[in-house]
Amino acid sequence: MKHLGTIGVLAALAVAGCYPKSAGDDLEEKLADQERRLAALEEGMADSRARMDAALESAEAKVAELQQVLEQATAVVTRNSADLGTEVVQLREQLQAVEGSLAELQNELGNTQRQIGEQQQAFDQQIRRFAQKAGVDMAVDASEVPDDKDAHYAAGRRAMEAGEHSQARALFREYVTRYPEDDHTDDAQYFIGKAYLEERRPANALGEFRRVITNYSRGDAVDDALYDMAEAFYQLHACTDAKAALEALINGQRNSSLRNDARAKLRQINRAPRGYCTS
C-alpha cells in the first residue's frame, strides 16, 4: 500500500539522523495515527461497498420480481384479451344469426302482409259483388275512380249501360262530390236516381230526382228527372203525384223533347187499371 511505503521512507530518514529523536517519535505517532485512520477509512469504505452491493443486489432482485410480475400481468391481459376476443367473435356470430332470423321473419311478415292484402282485396270484391246483387250501395274504391273528370263521368255511364247500378251510383256520387259546379253534375245526380229506378226501387229514386230539381233547377236534366219521377210515382201507385210531375214537365219545360212522351204517359196513367192508383 502507498501509505506503508511512506512510513518506511520516513523511518529510514530517522535512522540516518535527518530528524532528532523526539521529532521522530512524534512523526511515528502521527504516522501511526494516520495509519489507523486510513485503516478505519478502508474498513468504512468496505462496509459501504458491501452495503451498496447488498442494496444493488436487492434492487436487482426487486427489478427481477417486478419484471416477473409484469410478465405475469401481460400474460393475464393477453389471455383475457384472447378470451374477450373469443367472446366478441361468439357474440358477433350470435348477432349475425339473430339478424338472419330477423331478416327471415321480416320477409315472412312481408309475404304474410301481401297475402293478407290480396285476401282482403278479394274479400272486399266479393262483398262488393254481393252488395251490388243485393242492391246495397258501397263507397267506390279510390283505385276505381279515374283522375280525369271526363273519364270519371264516362266510367259511370259505362257502369249504367252494363247494368252495374250500384257501381254507377257510387261513381256518380263521387262525381257530384268532386265536381259540384261542373256542367255534367246535374246529369250525374239524375243517373243516381235512374239507377234506382231501373232496379225497381222507385222510393229511392224519388229522393235522387228531387235533388236534381232542387239543386240544379236550371240544368238540362230537370225534364228527365220530372219524367222519371212520374214513373217512380206510378210504380208506387201514386197516380196523382205522377200526373203532377208530368204536367210540370209539359208546362214548365217547353223546350224539352220529352213533352210528347209526357203526354203519352199521362194518357197511360189515365187508363190505369181499376184499383191500381191508391192516390
- The pLDDT tens digits for 130-145 are 666 666 676 777 778 8
**In a shared domain, residues 47 and 166:** no
Q: Are residues 148 and 232 in the same domain?
A: yes
d(CA 140, CA 218): 29
Query: Of the residues 71, 91, 117, which one is the last residue of a structural domain?
Result: 71
Q: Do residues 150 and 256 both lie within one domain?
A: yes
Whole-angstrom Cα distance, residue 114 to residue 263? 59
Residues 220-279: tens digit of each pLDDT: 999 999 999 999 999 999 999 999 999 999 999 999 999 999 999 999 999 999 999 999
- Does 181 fall in a domain? yes
Q: How many C-beta atoms surround the C-beta of residue 208 within 10 A?
A: 24
Is 133 a member of any domain? Answer: no
Residue 161 predicted with pLDDT over 60: yes
Question: Same domain for 173 and 254?
Answer: yes
d(CA 182, CA 43): 129
Among residues 170, 180, 254, the alpha carbon closest in space to that of 211 is found at 180
Q: Tell me if 235 is assigned to some domain.
A: yes
Q: Determine the pLDDT at residue 158.
A: 95
Domain range for 28: 2-71
More confident site: 71 or 148: 148
Position 244 scores a pLDDT of 95
| pLDDT in the model for residue 259 | 95
User: Which of 20, 46, 71 is the last residue in one of the domains?
Assistant: 71
Count of the separate structural domains present in the chain: 2
Please check whether residues 147 and 57 belong to one and the same domain.
Answer: no
Residues 156 and 60 in one domain: no
Contacts (Cβ under 8 Å, ≥6 apart) of 76? none
Read off the pLDDT of residues 175-231 as tens digits, 9 standing for 90 and up. Answer: 999 999 999 999 999 999 999 999 999 999 999 999 999 999 999 999 999 999 999
Residues 151 and 264 in one domain: yes
- pLDDT of amino acid 246: 95
